[in-house]
Structure 1
Amino acid sequence: MTAPPAQPEPAKGGDDMATLAKGGRTNTMGFVIRALGGIPFLFIGYRLYGVEEMGRFAAAFVIIEIFALICALGEKRGLAQRLTEGTEEEGVPQTNLVFDGMLTSFLFSLAACALLLAFPVIIFPSGTNSPFDIWMIAAIPAFALTEILLAAQAYKYDIATTVRARAITEPWTKSIAVAAIFFIPVVSEGGLALAYVTAIYAALATALWSFLKTYGWPKGWRPRPRYLGKMTARALPLIGADVIERGTRLLDVFLLGQSASAGAVGIYFFAKEVVSVPQKLKTSFEPILSPVITKNLKSGNYAAIASQVQKVGFWIIALQLGIALALVIPGEAVMGLGGPAIVGGTGALAILLAAEVVASMAVVSESVLVYIARKRNLAISVGIIALQGVLTVSLILLAERLGLNEGFKAAGAALALFIALLTSSLVKALVLKILLKAPVGNLRLALFWASAPAIMVGIGFTFLPEWVELVFGVPAILAVYLAVIWKRGFSADERQLFSRKVVAVETDEPTAEKAA
């Protein structure tokens, strides 16, 4: 399928939008919990283990995630389509289809682990912190299987399991484990790696528990080599899209690691981890969006898809912009959590947060393009990551030639990411608009109305002690921003959708602001 029909049927979308809004509420709560759970890991890691140690951990972490995403076989989005089509076309139980994906993913994971064990320099270009670091490779199969299990739950409109696994279990386990292991002499030096692996497997256990309660064990399941081969071949564009989308967030760390010290990478990684909180808010919408999109694709309801892209895109950018303001205005205080040496990365933090805001449209657009224009989407993604790579290397070399310090190298890597993600959003939104023959923009004037008072409140807090900025300033900025965006940005029907009392409402009425 490469183009929509000439006359799409009108959007009905009440139940679908209510489902997406429920996912939005859950994701917002998950963001708060994830923020509270992730910050201790950064604080403990940088304070107890050191900046260079965290830099080496970061270099390994980015490679592990890339391999894990490859091994997940694009099932984060592809599974929804297989479940929608498979039960009717083949008569295969849904549980069996999920296990097909899990088996294939596990086999790919074993191959990836073998490769990295044979050539550990791939993930440890600057050496290791301890002999225990090699255990990070064991996280690959667990990470990949968790992605599939969470996608299966999302198909049943269960986004709460994703929040439990990724926003509660994983960050809190990692934070608790890294502190506990530090005080165990035998394994103390491997605390970062062991805490990471423990957290990934804890998230897997959380996802598996919910999956078995929802789907149960497979019945009459057996491996089907021919089907698994077809499934893998069909998934290649999705794998490419997933890896490239995540790769744009990891390429900067990788390239910076090739030309800067472990300490510089450690500082940059701190900023990246802070930014990962609003980033997860955006990407965690994908699993709940995928089943809604695939069902509308099956019925040819492209008008509904365009409406969903517009609304969900606005919800995401509205939340992300507020979070970005709350983190960037007291940026020095936020970076100071990692220690005085980390404060130099405040500029990179500001650029990275801006990059995530402009990336929201690309992510939502891609959620549709991977189904209606897979190859075209993949080609765009390849071009974007190539652009980012060229810009990153060029800006790092420019900083070296001008004799600037490593902080400017980090800022250059962040700026390259910003330009790449902005380009991606503009191009993918345009392509989607053409294919759906309907507007998909996510900008509303209320974003600017809400930002102005939030910025003024935030600037006021910068004149106070840093602990006041963090404890009171961050919530105050968010509160002011959210109050305005809720009143001026969300239409009456959207506010009803986000109310727990409403199950579904029609959403064909005009929004409070015209989408840009």
Structure 2
Amino acid sequence: MSSAELAKGGRQNVFGYVMRLIARIPFLVVGGRLYGAEDLGRFAYATMTVEFAAAIALVGLKRGLALALARQRQPENHVMADAMLLILAASTAIAAVFLLFPALLFPSGLRFEGERFLALLVILIAVLDLLLAGLAFHKRIEIQVMSRSLVEPWVISLAAIGLYFTPLQPAGLLLAYVLALVAASVVAWIPAFRQFGLPQGWRPSLARMTAMARENLPVAGADVIDWSSRRIDLFILGRFASAEIVGVYYVAQQIASLAGRLRTSFDPILAPLLSRALASGAKAEAAGHLAQVGFWVITIQLCVVLMIGVAAEGAMGLFGPEFAVGGLVLLLLLLAELASSQASIAESALIYSRPRLNLGISLLAIAVEIAVAVWLAPLWGGAGAAMGLLAAMLVMAILKQILIVHALESPVPMWRVSILLCALPAFLYGYATRALPEAWHMVATGFGLPALYFFLVWKFAFTPADKLLLARDRKENPA
């Protein structure tokens, strides 16, 4: 049954990933073309800080909640209530610090007093992620797709356009971000309430909350470090470069992260399956889940890297002439996201089976990133910061792959030679199109390259089990 569940959940998340890919691009175009690199850089720093704070406030429950629910030590809505109270306490404390010290969000100072209340989004984001994690445990993946992949990106894009033509234009990007998160939260709250209901008979317990926080501490550390590894480069660059350069880097980072979000979109279906398999001691089954999802993610992500990487300068130029200089940065960040996929998928099981060693590897990787970025960012600007991220992701990918094989006592093959053989003709085709005028080059890589790549993959690389990802439900064999 789990193979069919994995394929169905993966299919829903691939759909959500494509929708997010389509919807996020307009926001970046609007931000770059209408608001400019400086405003975009300011927005990037503030929202990065808020999202980092929310990741801390979640205390690992975005992934750890699945294991807490699977143990069935108390009713599900009691577990949800304990988790909700815990993250409300943590997120409120962090938000209070930002309210008192808004320079943590806006180092250049507030443009108007209302900007300090962006701090309250720490609470909103943490609660939203908790609700989606709870729904994912019951395979309600469509709610995450609707909330995060449809409602949030489209609301932020449309709101940013509308607010630009109003007196609120100086705060347009930030207000659009607020509206998008509120809309995404509404989408999640209704099904979450229907799924779990009110926690009848529940009473707050400091002991239970403390135990939950302690159990999830290794997961929380891994989540925060994983999140930090993808943001610390921007933070370091901000210490050495102007807001305009940070804005260019942010656009490149957002485009590259669209490839990385494909991996994270599989977490809602993968976490419950892994937690159940590992709880029952089925290590080989867990290894099979990881290998299958890893292959799917790398297959699709490799196409995105080829498609965008071959046309990196042109892709950056879409957001404004001043962004075209970020082509090399975009290419390096795409390679970093590809390298990180293997590590992140392995980590999905390591947080349950080898939490402390997993945390140690993550700490080592972020130390490598900081060292390389601090060394190279003053010399090469955005390219130096991107090199720091790439170095960290390579270290993490190699070490976590070795560790997961030992932890599960089974091979976890995510890469296959067949995929590389399919990628080679697609790359040569894309590189050859660079001889065309820029507009035709963009069209040829945007449509022709993925068509060629996936034709080859379907014919020569996908097995019948792989093709379940794109099969209709009625054709799936539940056995």
Query: Do they superpose with TM above 0.5?
Result: yes
Gaps of 5+ in 2: none
> What letter is aligned with 1:344?
V
1:99 maps to 81
Matched, 1:226 2:207: yes
The residue matched to 2:161 in structure 1 has which SS?
helix
Equivalent residue in structure 2 for 1:451, among 423, 431, 435 = 423
Q: Distance in 1 between matches of 2:342 and 2:270?
A: 14
Instruction: Summarize the Cα distance change of 1:269–1:346 in structure 2 as closer, same or farther, 3 Å threshold.
Output: same
**Deviation for aligned residue 1:129:** 5.1
Q: Aligned equivalents of 1:441 and 1:94: distance in 2?
A: 35
Q: Please tell me whether the aligned partners of residues 155 and 288 of structure 1 are also in contact (alpha carbons under 8 angstroms).
A: yes
* Post-superposition offset of 1:259: 0.6
- In the alignment, is residue 112 of structure 1 matched against residue 84 of structure 2? no
| Pairing of 1:132-281 with structure 2 (within 5 A) | 132-185=114-167, 187-281=168-262
Measure, in 1, the Cα distance between the counterparts of 2:335 and 2:408. 28
Q: Alpha-carbon deviation of 1:434?
A: 1.0
State whether residues 458 and 477 of structure 1, in contact with CA within 8 Å, keep that contact through their aligned partners in structure 2: yes
Find the counterpart in structure 1 of residue 411 from structure 2: 439
Amino acid across the alignment from 2:225: I
C-alpha separation between the residues in 2 aligned to 1:47 and 1:446? 41
In the TM superposition, what is the alpha-carbon distance from 1:201 to its structure 2 partner?
A: 1.6
Q: Paired residue for 2:23, among 37, 40, 49? A: 37
2:294 corresponds to which of 299, 309, 313 = 313
Q: Give 1:392's aligned residue.
A: 373
Letter in 2 for 1:39: I
1:226-280 superposed Cα distances (whole Å, 9 cap, x missing partner): 2111111222111111010011000000000001111110000000111121111
Is structure 2 residue 326 aligned with structure 1 residue 345?
A: yes
Deviation at 1:281, TM superposition (A): 0.8
- 8 Å CA contact retained: 1:100, 1:223: yes
CA separation in 2, counterparts of 1:98 and 1:340? 48
Asked if the contact 2:135–2:192 (Cα under 8 Å) also holds between the matched residues in 1, the reply is yes
SS in 1 for 2:381: helix
- The answer to whether the 8 Å contact 1:53/1:129 transfers is no
Per-residue deviation, 1:111: 0.5
1:53-92 paired onto structure 2 within 5 Å: 53-85=39-71, 87=72, 89=73, 92=74
Change in Cα spacing, 1:442 to 1:201, as seen in structure 2 (3 Å) is same
CA contact 2:10–2:469 (8 Å) conserved in 1: no
Query: Which residue of 2 is the match for residue 473 of structure 1?
Result: 445
Please name the residue that 1:22 is paired with. 8
Q: CA deviation at 1:217?
A: 3.0
Q: Distance in 2 between matches of 1:175 and 1:240?
A: 32
Aligned residue identity for 1:479: A
Partner SS for 2:318 = helix
What's the secondary structure of 1:184's corresponding residue?
Answer: coil
CA 1:450–1:230 in structure 2 vs 1: closer, same or farther (change >3 Å)? same
Aligned residue identity for 1:502: K
Q: String of CA shifts for 1:296-331, please: whole Å, max 9, x gaps.
A: 112111011111111111111111000111111121
2: CA distance, partners of 1:360 / 1:245: 11
Q: Does 1:283 align with 2:264?
A: yes
Asked if residue 332 in structure 1 is aligned to residue 279 in structure 2, the reply is: no
Instruction: Measure, in 1, the Cα distance between the counterparts of 2:197 and 2:451.
Output: 42
Aligned to 1:492, what secondary structure does the other structure show? Answer: coil
Q: Give the AA of the match of 2:41.
A: G
Amino acid across the alignment from 1:77: R
Matching of residue 303 in structure 1 with residue 295 in structure 2: no
Partner Cα distance (1:394, 1:493) in 2: 46
**Structure 2 Cα separation of the partners of residues 38 and 28 of structure 1:** 15
- TM-score, normalised with respect to structure 2: 0.96
For residues 133-185 of structure 1, the C-alpha deviation after alignment (integer angstroms, 9 at most, x for no partner) is 32321211111111111111111112211111111111111101111111121
Aligned to 2:108: 126
Contact 2:44–2:250 at 8 Å: present in 1 too?
Answer: yes
Quote the sequence identity (%).
37
Q: Counterpart amino acid of 2:22?
A: L
Shift of 1:482: 1.4
Question: After the TM superposition, which of the residue ranges 103-112 and 251-260 deviates more from structure 2?
Answer: 103-112
The separation in 1 between residues aligned to 2:468 and 2:361, in whole angstroms, is 37
1:370 Cα deviation after fit: 0.5
User: Would you say the 8 A contact 2:135–2:143 is kept in 1?
Assistant: yes
CA contact (8 A) 1:169 1:203 kept: yes
Q: TM-score, normalised to structure 1's length?
A: 0.89
Which of 328, 332, 338 is the matching residue for 1:357? 338
Verify the 8 A CA contact 1:83 1:94 in the aligned structure 2: yes
> Residues of 2 paired with 1:470 and 1:211: CA distance?
42
State the partner residue of 1:376: 357
The match for 1:492 is 464
**1:502 corresponds to 2:454:** no
Structure 1, unaligned stretches of length 5 or more?
1-14, 400-407, 507-516
Give, in whole Å, the separation in 2 of the partners of 1:417 and 1:43: 25
Shift of 1:392: 0.6
Work out the CA distance in 2 between the residues paired with 1:166 and 1:129.
29
> Is the 1:74–1:236 Cα contact (8 Å) retained in structure 2?
yes
Shift of 1:465: 4.1
Measured at CA, do residues 472 and 206 of structure 1 come closer, stay the same or move farther in structure 2, by a change above 3 Å? farther
Q: Helix, strand or coil for the counterpart of 2:216?
A: helix
* Counterpart AA for 1:102: M
User: What letter matches 1:71 in structure 2?
Assistant: A
CA separation of 1:190 and 1:441: change in aligned 2, threshold 3 A: same
- SS state at 2:174 partner: helix
Work out whether residues 139 and 201 of structure 1, in 8 Å CA contact, stay in contact via their aligned partners in 2: no
